Structures are given as structure tokens and as C-alpha cells.
Structure 1
Amino acid sequence: MDASIIWTLRKPVIWVWRKLVGWAGAWTVEPIYRQANDYHLALRNWQRRWVELAANVEYKLMTRSSFDQDGNPEQSIWVRNTGTTLIDELHFCVEARLGSVSYQVPLAAYRLRPGCLARLPLIGLPLQDLSIRKDGLFATYESIRVYPIRIAREQRIDIYSTDGVVWTPSHDDYLNGEWKRWRGRLYNVKAMTDARRDHLLRLGHRWCRRHGLWGLDAASLFGEVWRTRRYKRLPGVLMFTLASRAPVINAMLWLRLLLRIERIAFEFDADMQAATEYVLKKGQSAGPVRVIHWDAASPTTTDSA
């Protein structure tokens, strides 16, 4: 075949190959990556905590990074009234700082009934991001905090003077390296790494630990077999040594996931459920604040710590 004809057919062959790979991946690889990424998002949502903003007022900050690709590009904050009286007005501020630069988002909620929540968009707050330059690594902001300004309820106005809770982002999404790109989208696959570790522990228990052999490396297991003269345990050690090889255990995990024998899903255990219930009911204290009470019926003011 002439070389020019082969060169002409190059583009259509590549196009067909990419279509085939995309079709096969949509049925095999992509659903597994999506499971792992959904696990990551569910874990992050569970880790978000209600924090005390003021007496009987709590908030949950829903910031985002450039790695978040869950179809919801908006950053927001939830506030809720945990008291028994109506909050007529709630004014507070979300502030991100980068050195001497302050990104302030003043917010307000009105007629917040007991037990009710309000969701407010954080327009103007930068995404959590990192950039690499010649002179170092830079973040869009170094810290973020939420502090109350004024709350009106029960014919009284409370003016607050507090710095609120300061939170420093850890940038785990950027630094953990547990990301895969598939067809132009990023997926967090840390859950797959955890699944491989759990599978390795299960194999170690099945072939070694339940027979009194402890260890996860071949040298220690073989040494224990020879030292204790438990030669009948040698086949189990050989099986575990083979199965614990990275290519083998990866193949075993992918096979179980592809055949739908195993699924990556975020599930609550008893301890997680108890911790969630505690935080939902109690929140996290922002510490003491200084409040100036203005009684609507009288122009006098009093200070209290």
C-alpha cells in the first residue's frame, strides 16, 4: 500500500479508535470513576460542619475549589435558626483574606423562623485555588472567616464585635494526587486506593492472620513460618504474597468492580452517625463574643461579654 494512502487514512482510523475507546470506557471505566468521585463528594459533604455564628444561629460554609465538578458551580452558605423565636433580621459577613487583600461578602437573611434554614450565594468569593509561579506556590486566599454583625429579634437589636471562626484551607484536593482525568473531566479516585487497601487486609486475614501469622510483607510472613515451623501455612503465605503484588490486586479490584460484584459507596457506620447527630444538634462553638444590646423600646445600651 502506498505511504500516502496510509497517511490519508490516519485521521479516520484515529477517529474510529477514539470512538471505540470512548464507547467501551463509558460502560467500564467511567462508571467506576464516577462511583469513586461520588464517594469523595459525599465524604466532603459529611465533613462540612454546622458552626455557631451567634446565640441560636449556626452556619455551614459550602466553599468550592477548581477541582469540584459536580454540576453545582455556585458557592453558598447555609444559616439556620436553632432557637425558639423568630429572627427578623440577620446580618453577617464572609471574608477571605490574602495578605492585606480582603474579599468581603456581606449577607443578610430576613424573617428566619425557628428551625428554618436559608441558603445564600457567596457572589464575589474566589474559588479555592493554587497557582505555581517561578517565585513559589500561591493560593487565591490564605484564610476565610464568618462573623456576625447585627441580629434583630424579640424587639431587640444585637450588635456583635467578634472576629468569628478563622478557617485555613488545607488544599487537600490539590496535594493528595488522587485524581484521574477521563474524557476531559477530573475524578477523585482516592476511594479506589482505600478499596485496594481494604481488599489487601481481607486477603491477609483470610490466608494468614486467622492462622496466627501476622504481617503484610513476604519477608516477615515467611520468617514467621520458618521460625514457628508452621509449614502447613506456607501455601497461604505464597498465595497472599502473589495476590498482594500491585498489578494482581489492581486487577482483582477492577474485575470485581467491572462485574458489579463490588461497588464503591459512601456509607455511615455507627460512630460516623453518632458524630453527625452530635454536630447537627450542637454545632461547633465560635467562642465568646462581645455583644451590645439595643432595646427597641429604649435608646440606652448595655455591654455584655
Structure 2
Amino acid sequence: MGRSYDQFCPAARALDVIGGRWTLLIVRELLLGPKRYTDLVAGLPGIGPNVLAERLRELGGAGVVSRSRLPPPAASTVYELTALGEAMRPVVDELTRWGLRFLGAPRPGERFRLGWLLGCVRAGFRPELARGLHETYEFRVDGDVFHLRVDDGTLDVRHGAAGEAACVVSTDLATFMAVGARLLTVEEALERGLAQLEGGPDAVARAVSILGAHLEATNGRYGIIGAVGATFRPDAVRGVRETYEFRIGDFLFHARVDEGTVEMNQGPAPDPAAALITDLATLLQLGAGTLTLEDAFAGGSATAEGDPEASLRMAAAFGVVLADP
């Protein structure tokens, strides 16, 4: 192993094993199933091959990771978690859940892979809604395939197709995220041709109900209100007291900002300092950081009303990317 904290403490001993750079992210990747060395390189962009090899050797020495060879025709060497490594699952889930508070919009230069989102899916699992349920759901998102197996209040998320699935949903990443965040219902996605379903609609409805955005990540609110509220950045509006209105199609809600805190409510604002008028698709792109506010205005997919300076504060408060801050 590498450097030790030299402390007779369980937390320190745990960090001796998994506290090194990249180590916990290797565990994150292997929680989705066995991986070849090349799969790990692809899932960990930026890691050097020597660092990956060293971390795998350390994890193997600690009994966290094992190496095996798949039978023909694959005949590939794969790395997988041991029972000791699998015991890290609740730790990684809780870390992911805690990290949702800091996610916000993607930063310039940040990479993204669907597999990293699956940790958020697992972290958002609501076991109380899955008691007595034994079902598997398969999702095909922009060519990536994974499945979720629910077994009496427990959840297992794995890459690859399911042997037997109660439903198979094919869609793109934006739609998948919108449904999970309650910005879009499954029925709406199917009606608009944004998703295709094989199997029973009741099964996919159950999947969404137990796998959606975590309560703490949306301040206890689902739907558009909760999803927008989850992006609130208190440091951007310290000392600000004003109300912003959001008009998403026919749906209106508002955010009351007061000294770095926010209160989200449905309906129009009594006296908004600024209002954003847009559609669901544009809101998704603004929230994901794939569309700047200026481009949305220039393309006509969004408009603003009220004080222009308040509109900028509104954008900063909710993590909207500005082309020219």
C-alpha cells in the first residue's frame, strides 16, 4: 500500500486503503459489474495507465478487488469487487447522495459518461416503495445499455442487458434525465416520440416512482419546481432579497431568494424582479449547461422580463451558464 496515516482508527485504516487519488472512482466503476482493464481506462478519463495498474495492485493486495478470466468466447481478463469491495456500495451511494449538493451545472472541460449517472440513480433509490417488488428494468440510453434489478427493497444496477425485463426503455440522455428529475412524465416522453417502450407501461411507471431524484437533492420537492430548486447556488446571491418567476409553457412557479436561502412555490410571483419564459427542452439544456442564456435568447427559445440586472442574478442563482459573465 501507499502512505499510511499511522493511526489506530477504523476511518484512518479505511482511508489507507481507498483514500488515494482515483481509488474510490475505480470502486465506483466496478460496482456496476466486472470490467476489463480497457473498460476501466475508458471509464476513468485522465487516469494514467501506470496509476491504474498500481491502484488495482493495491486494491488486490487489500482484498478489495480480484482478477479473473472470462470463459470462451470472451476469454478476457476482468477485474471485479470481492465481497469486501461490494461492502463499499452503501458508502459510495451515500457519498454520491451527499455530492449531489455540489453538482450544479457542468464546469468547462468536465467530462461526462452515462455510467457516472448510474450512481445517482442508485443514490436516489427509494426502498420504501420497493418492498415486496421483484422486477428488472432495462434502459438503452444513446447506445449504452444497463439494467436495474429490484428485489424486495434492494437495488442492483449493472451494465449490460437484462436476461428478462419487465420493461425495456430506449431513449436519449436528455429525456432519461428529464424523466428521472420529474421534468417530464413517461407518458409525455412516449407520446412525443422521445422514448420507446417494450413491455408494460405499469412496470416503467413503478421504475420511475422508485428511482427518481432523491428527496434531499430536490429540497423535498419533485417536478420542475424541485429540479430547479436543486440547482440553487446560495453563494451567488448573498445579500440579495428578490423574487424570480419561471414560466415553462403553461406552468408557472417562483423562487423567493432571501440572503442566500430560497423558497420555491408553484404559481405566479406577486412582484417578480425578473421572469424567465421558456419551454421544457430549453430549460433542460440551460440546467445541464449545454446551452448558454445568451444563445437561448438569440435563438428565440427563451425570453426575460423585468430588470436586466435581476435577470443576471437569477441566472447566477440557479447555475445557468453565461457566455460572457
Question: TM-score, length-normalised on structure 2?
Answer: 0.21
Question: Bigger relative contact order, structure 1 or 2, given CA contacts below 8 A and separation 6+?
Answer: 1
Question: TM-score, length-normalised on structure 1?
Answer: 0.22
